[in-house]
Structure 1
Amino acid sequence: MASFAHDFPFDPAYGCTLDDLLRIPAPAAPDDYDAFWRARYEEARKVATEPELGPLEEERDGVRIHGVTFTSVGGVRLGGWVALPAEGAAEYGFVIGHGYGGRQEPGPDVPLPLPRSAAILPCVRGMGARGLWDGIPDVSSAHVLHGIESRDTYVIGDCVADLWCAASALHELLPEPVPGEGAVRLGYLGESFGGGLGALALPWDDRFAAGQLTVPTFGNHPLRLTLPCAGSGEAVRGYHREHPEVTEVLRYFDAATAATRLELPVLVAAALFDPSVPPPGQFAVHNALAGEHELQVLSAGHFEHEGLAAETEELRAARRRFFGAWLGR
C-alpha cells in the first residue's frame, strides 16, 4: 500500500493494496452502449476536418512543431500543435491527449516515443490555449459537468469525437509512407483526462494500432462516486448528490466499461496513490482491457514525490519499447 506524507482530508491510496486494485471490475454496459458509440464515431468520421498548418513555432528533438487548426463535430474549430519529422517522411503517427489542465504548449509530450514519427497534440473543446469555445467552461470542475444532463449533450462525448477528428486531420496532413499502401499507423497517448478519453475513443477506431493510458480517469463511475478526491471527480460527486439520476448518463462514459471493448494492445500506467484520480478507477480500466496489455505500476500520480523523475524515465523507456513493438509491425 502506497503511503506519502500529505495534507489531504482523505487517503489518496483509499486503503487499497496492489492486489486489491487488481481485482476491481468494470461496470456492465447499457444494452445500447456499442450502438451509441459506433454512431458517434461514424458521425465524427464524416466531418471534413480541413486542417490548416501554421508557421513553424519550434524545432527540437528531431521534429518541427507547427500550430494547427481543424474542424470537429458540430462545426467546432479547434487548435493545437503538429510535430513533423525534421527530415524525411513520417512512418508513424501519434494522437496525444492532454490532462484536465488543458495544454498551453507541446511541452513534455515531445520528444515522441519513436523516431520518424509525426503527432497531433489537439486541445479538445473548452480546454487549453487553443481549444477555448464560447459556452464551454475552461475550468475542469465546470467542464466535466457541461451537458451532463443527457448522454447526447455531455461534453465528454464531444471531446472523444475531437480526438477522432484530430486523427483524421493528422492523416490528411501526412503523405502515405508508401504510396498506395494506406495512411501511417497511429498510436495514442493520453494521461489523466486524456487517458480516460483515450479509453473511450480507441475501441471504435481501427486507425489506431496501440495506445498508452497513464493514470486514466473516468474508470468505474459507480465506485468513483463513493471516493472523495481533489480532481474533477469531486465535481461529479457533488452533482450526483443533487441529481442521482446522472448515473444513467455516466454509464455511457465509463472508461472501464469501454476497456472491455478495447482489443488493441494497451500500456497502462496506474498509480497506487493519487489524490486527483482515485487509483481504484485507474486499475478498473487496466483490469477490464480486452486485448493484450501491459501494466506499469506508479507509486503516485498527480503528486510530487522524491522518486518521480526516476519513474517518469522508466515510463518513457517502457513507452518506447511498447510502441516500437506494436507500431513497427
Structure 2
Amino acid sequence: MSLFEHPYNYDPGYGYTLERLLGVDAPTEPADFEDFWSTRYRQVLQQSPRFQIGNPTLVDGYRVNDISYQSTDGITIAGWLLEPHGQTVTQAIVVGHGYGGREGPDFHLSFPNTALLFPCFRGISRSRCTSIPERPDWHVVQNILDKDRYVIGGCVDDLWLAVSVLWTIYPQARERIGYMGISFGGGIGALAVPWDGRIRRVHLNVPTFGNQPLRLSLPSCGSADALRAYSQHLGHIPDTLTYYDAATAVRHANQPLHAALALFDPVVAPPGQFAIYNAWHGEKRLFTLDAGHFEYPAQRLQEQQLLAELKLFFSPN
C-alpha cells in the first residue's frame, strides 16, 4: 500500500519497509575500481582551478559573489560564493544541486563563520555549454560508453576542483571543508567524497546513483528512467555504470555522514538512496523523510527539523 495518494502508475515506495531499506546492499565493485577513481583524483588535483570572483552584493547577511573556475576538459564552471558578512570564515562548504539545476544560492542555509560555494555542474544552469546537453535525460547518458569521458565523471571533477577553490581562498578553513548535495548533487558527492580527504564532513539528501542494477530495475521518472531506456536500447546496462555506482564508491568513505533519505520517492527510488547509506564506511547518522521529490503534509516540519540537525552537524566541535 502506498504511503500517499499519487498520480504515478507505480508505487514510489516500491513495497519497501524501513527495515528492508536498511538491508539493501551495494554491488560488487570492479577489480580496478579503486585504482580508477584514485588515479582520476590525483590527475584532477594537478590542475589549477584558475578562479575568478566578482560582482559582490550584500544579501541576507551574506556577501554574494559571482564565481567561475576552470575544470577538466576545458569546461568553465560558474556559480555563487557566499561569505558571511562581518565574520571570519573558519569553515567552507560546497553545495551541490539537483538535476533541475540552480538559478541562485540557497539562502536558508546559514552556518556561523561559514562560506558556501554553489557551483553549477558542467552543462547545467550557469555552466551551460554547447558540448553537453542540459536536459537531464540527455545529460545522464552523455559519453556513457567511455568510462573516462562519461559526463558524470566530469561532474565529479567539477566538485573536486570546487574544493580546490575553497582550499585556495580560505587556507584557514582547510580542516573544515564540507560538502552538501541533494538528489543528483548527492550522487555526485557520494562518488567524489571517498577519494578526497580534504572534505571532512558530508550531508547527502535523497542521493542518486546508488546500486545501479537495482535502481535501473525499478520504475521512476528520474535519471534512472533515462538510463533504463538507454540500456534497453543498447541491450544491456553499460559497463561504465559499474564504475559510477554511488553505493559501491562509499564503501571507501571514512568521513562523517549525515543522510536525509526518503521512504517514498518517484524520482530517486528509495532502495538506491539507502544502498548508499548502508554501504557508507565512516560514522553516519540517518534522518528519515516521509517523501522526496514530492509534496507531503509534514514536509515543512521535517525540513525545519533537518536544518536544525545540519546546523549541529556542521557546527564547531
TM-score by length of 1: 0.93
Q: Give the drift of 1:287.
A: 0.5
What is the alpha-carbon distance in structure 2 between the residues aligned to residue 172 and residue 11 of structure 1? 46
- What whole-Å deviation, never above 9, does each CA across 1:25-47 have from its counterpart, x for those lacking one? 00011100011001111121111
What is the alpha-carbon distance in structure 2 between the residues aligned to residue 175 and residue 264 of structure 1? 20
**One of 140, 144, 150 as aligned partner of 1:144:** 140
Counterpart secondary structure, 2:41? helix
- What whole-Å deviation, never above 9, does each CA across 1:122-161 have from its counterpart, x for those lacking one? 0010111x11011100010110010101111110000011
Counterpart secondary structure, 1:304? coil
- What whole-Å deviation, never above 9, does each CA across 1:193-244 have from its counterpart, x for those lacking one? 0000000000011111110000000000010111010111100000111224
| Contact residue 144 and residue 156 of structure 1 kept, 8 A | yes
Which residue of structure 2 aligns with residue 180 of structure 1? none
Q: Give the drift of 1:184.
A: 4.8
What is the alpha-carbon distance in structure 1 between the residues aligned to residue 202 and residue 224 of structure 2? 24
| Contact residue 51 and residue 172 of structure 1 kept, 8 A | no
| Contact residue 219 and residue 282 of structure 1 kept, 8 A | yes
Counterpart secondary structure, 2:67? strand
| Contact residue 119 and residue 170 of structure 1 kept, 8 A | no
Q: Give the drift of 1:319.
A: 0.8
Q: Give the drift of 1:88.
A: 3.1
Counterpart secondary structure, 1:211? strand
| Contact residue 113 and residue 323 of structure 1 kept, 8 A | no
Which residue of structure 1 aligns with residue 260 of structure 2? 269
Q: Does 1:192 align with 2:168?
A: no
**1:160-239 → structure 2 map (5 Å cutoff):** 160-176=156-172, 183-239=174-230
AA of the residue aligned to 1:99: G
AA of the residue aligned to 2:218: L
**One of 285, 294, 316 as aligned partner of 1:303:** 294
Which residue of structure 2 aligns with residue 94 of structure 1? 93
**One of 112, 124, 137 as aligned partner of 2:121:** 124
Counterpart secondary structure, 1:6? coil
AA of the residue aligned to 2:310: R
What is the alpha-carbon distance in structure 1 between the residues aligned to residue 156 and residue 98 of structure 2? 13
- RMSD between superposed Cα atoms in Å: 1.3
Counterpart secondary structure, 1:200? helix
Q: Give the drift of 1:111.
A: 3.7
- What whole-Å deviation, never above 9, does each CA across 1:275-302 have from its counterpart, x for those lacking one? 0000000000011010100000100000
- What whole-Å deviation, never above 9, does each CA across 1:83-119 have from its counterpart, x for those lacking one? 112013200000100000011111xx32435211001
**1:46-125 → structure 2 map (5 Å cutoff):** 46-60=46-60, 62-106=61-105, 109-125=106-122
Unmatched 5+ residue regions in structure 1? 178-182
What is the alpha-carbon distance in structure 2 between the residues aligned to residue 270 and residue 92 of structure 1? 25
Which residue of structure 1 aligns with residue 44 of structure 2? 44
Counterpart secondary structure, 2:172? coil
Counterpart secondary structure, 1:319? helix
Unmatched 5+ residue regions in structure 2? none
What is the alpha-carbon distance in structure 2 between the residues aligned to residue 82 and residue 47 of structure 1? 21
What is the alpha-carbon distance in structure 1 between the residues aligned to residue 225 and residue 87 of structure 2? 46
Q: How many residues align?
A: 317
Which residue of structure 2 aligns with residue 12 of structure 1? 12
Which residue of structure 2 aligns with residue 258 of structure 1? 249
AA of the residue aligned to 1:321: L
What is the alpha-carbon distance in structure 2 between the residues aligned to residue 264 and residue 232 of structure 1? 27
Counterpart secondary structure, 1:147? coil
Q: Give the drift of 1:58.
A: 4.0
**One of 261, 283, 293 as aligned partner of 2:274:** 283
Q: Pick which of 188-197 and 80-89 moved more.
A: 80-89
| Contact residue 199 and residue 258 of structure 1 kept, 8 A | yes
TM-score by length of 2: 0.97
